[in-house]
């Protein structure tokens, strides 16, 4: 059923003009976090190449946690990973062994509980977990306020002129009108920014 944005004509205009974003395919949260770390601060093309090299280091292309921990850092570095990313991947693997992060465990937690749980891992920040919630987990009401694309889209479409803390307050105020569908609203904002017709 289509969402009606009766209290926000700007968002309703995007929904009328753009095709509805489809639900994201379910993915293993652990593997998703691995991919997110590999992709950080890289172009899509370069990230894809390095991630393929990383997966090819493992039987069946699955980076099982113990295998990641056992793999020499030099081997991971040779695949194109920085020393910092190598450490972060090993952090995720160690956390997964101690505290499983598969969907069965995470689905029982609220959005904020998932964020608090996974940001205990050094190298995994709030934005990364918000992307996990929005995409492979398909949580419906996530608002990644620190996403640059989302911020820029709201500033442009809603004509915001504030800066600093005042801007953050206005961004939250605008997004409040989208509850309980803030994830869908953000997907429309990304589509508008990327020029999807």
What is the pTM assigned to this prediction? Answer: 0.92
Q: Does the pLDDT of residue 180 top 50, yes or no? A: yes
pLDDT above 80 for 174: yes
Report CA-CA distances (Å) from 46 to 38, 40, 100.
10, 11, 29
Q: Check whether residue 61 and residue 126 sit in a common domain.
A: yes
Interatomic CA distance for residues 69 and 102, integer angstroms:
18
Give the helix ranges, DSSP H, for the chain. 9-17, 29-39, 44-55, 65-70, 73-78, 83-98, 103-106, 111-118, 126-134, 148-158, 164-176, 182-193
Let me know whether 108 and 58 are in one domain: yes
Assess if residue 14 is contained within a domain. yes
Task: Classify residue 1: in a domain, yes or no.
Answer: no
Is residue 4 reached through a cis peptide bond, with omega within 30 degrees of 0 on the bond before it? no
147 is catalytic: yes
Percent of the chain predicted with pLDDT > 70: 97
- Shared domain check, 155 and 60: no
**110 within domain boundaries:** yes
CATH of residue 119's domain is 1.10.340.30
Q: What is the dihedral of CA 172, 177, 181, 183, to 10 degrees?
A: -30
Residue among 10, 19, 4 at smallest CA distance from 156: 10
Q: Is-contact 145 172, C-beta < 8 A? A: yes
Residue 23, pLDDT score: 86
Same domain, 118 and 171: no
Residues 4-28 have a mean pLDDT of 91
Residue 195 pLDDT level (bands cut at 50, 70, 90): low
- Distance between CA atoms of residues 185 and 3, nearest Å: 10
| In a shared domain, residues 122 and 189 | no
**pLDDT given for residue 197 in this prediction:** 43
> What is the predicted pLDDT for the residue at 100?
84
Residue pLDDT, tens place only, 63-91: 999 999 999 999 999 999 999 999 999 99
Q: Active-site residue among 60, 111, 146, 147? A: 147
Q: How confident is the model at residue 144 (pLDDT cuts 50, 70, 90)?
A: very high
4 assigned to some structural domain: no
pLDDT of 1 strictly over 60: no
Report the chain's mean pLDDT, rounded to a whole number.
Answer: 94
Question: Domain total for the chain?
Answer: 2
119 backbone dihedrals φ, ψ, rounded to 5°: -75, 0
- The model's pLDDT over 101-127, given as tens digits with 9 standing for 90+, comes to 988 899 999 999 999 999 999 999 999
Q: Same domain for 106 and 167?
A: no
Q: Which domain holds residue 60?
A: 29-134
Q: For residue 28, what are its two tokens?
A: 């293993």
Q: What pLDDT band is residue 193 in, cutting at 50, 70 and 90?
A: confident
Query: How far is the CA of 155 from the CAs of 14, 93, 105, 112, 175, in angstroms?
Result: 15, 38, 37, 25, 12
> Do 126 and 56 fall into the same domain?
yes
């Amino acid at each position: 059923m289509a969402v009606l944005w009766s209290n926000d004509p700007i968002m309703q205009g995007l929904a009328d003009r753009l095709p509805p974003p489809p639900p994201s395919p379910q993915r293993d949260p652990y593997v998703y976090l691995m991919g997110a770390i590999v992709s950080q601060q890289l172009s899509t093309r370069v990230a894809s190449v390095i991630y393929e090299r990383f997966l090819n280091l493992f039987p069946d292309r699955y980076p099982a946690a113990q295998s990641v921990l056992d793999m020499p850092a030099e081997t991971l570095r040779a695949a194109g990973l920085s020393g910092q990313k190598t450490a972060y991947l090993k952090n995720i693997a160690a956390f997964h062994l101690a505290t499983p992060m598969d969907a069965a465990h995470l689905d029982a937690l609220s959005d904020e509980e998932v964020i608090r749980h996974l940001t205990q891992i050094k190298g995994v920040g709030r934005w990364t977990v918000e992307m996990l919630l929005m995409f492979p987990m398909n949580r419906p009401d996530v608002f990644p306020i620190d996403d640059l694309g989302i911020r820029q889209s709201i500033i442009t479409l809603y004509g915001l002129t504030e800066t600093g803390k005042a801007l953050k307050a206005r961004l939250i105020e605008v997004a409040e009108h989208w509850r309980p569908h803030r994830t869908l609203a953000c997907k429309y904002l990304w589509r508008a920014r990327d020029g999807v017709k």
